[in-house]
Amino acid sequence: MKLIRNPMKAVTVAFVLGMGVAACSPTPAPTATAPAPAPAPDPAAMAAEATAKAEADKAAKIQVVKDFYDAAINQKDFDKASAFLGATYIQHNPGAADGPEGLKGFLTFLKTSFPQSHSEIKHAYADGNFVVLHVHSLREPNTLGRAIVDIFRLDENNKVVEHWDVVQDIPPEPKNTNTMF
């Protein structure tokens, strides 16, 4: 290796060799401070956040269905209830016609035949886009009523698009002391 005595040639050679001009400068170049590494995600906090979000989503879906149910079954108000319906309404109860018009017809039947009917939601559960209600239904005052399980499917906008139900009369003399609720 040949020693270069001219300082300008030394800077040029150093730069060309990849050392950079700052390596030959008499005053050191300022160095940038590297950003601190981001803290590692806390798995417990992430899991808690995901659980809280899922529970809030379930609660919102349940509230939509409860509001729909009250407007439709207790208030018998099709206009109010229809605000909770999606683009379609598939009905699996064989006693009610399909679609929003089927719901409207059923509510007219309730209003005409059972104007004092009232239903009390005893339990509500959500799983994915499904909401299940366990209901005590009284079509007439001072009767035992019926136990009903209503199942609703919601669309991506939390609108009611499908309904199933299972209905059981409450017997006057049950074979056990358990309640149906």
pTM of the model: 0.76
Fold of 55-169: Nuclear Transport Factor 2; Chain: A, (3.10.450)
Q: Give CA–CA dist 161/155, Å, rounded.
A: 6
User: Dmax over Cα atoms in the chain, in whole Å?
Assistant: 115
> 21 pLDDT exceeds 80?
no
Instruction: Note the pLDDT tens digit of each residue in 117-141.
Output: 999 999 999 999 999 999 999 999 9
> 31 pLDDT exceeds 70?
no
Q: Give CA–CA dist 40/38, Å, rounded.
A: 6
Q: How confident is the model at residue 93 (pLDDT cuts 50, 70, 90)?
A: very high
Q: Give CA–CA dist 90/14, Å, rounded.
A: 79
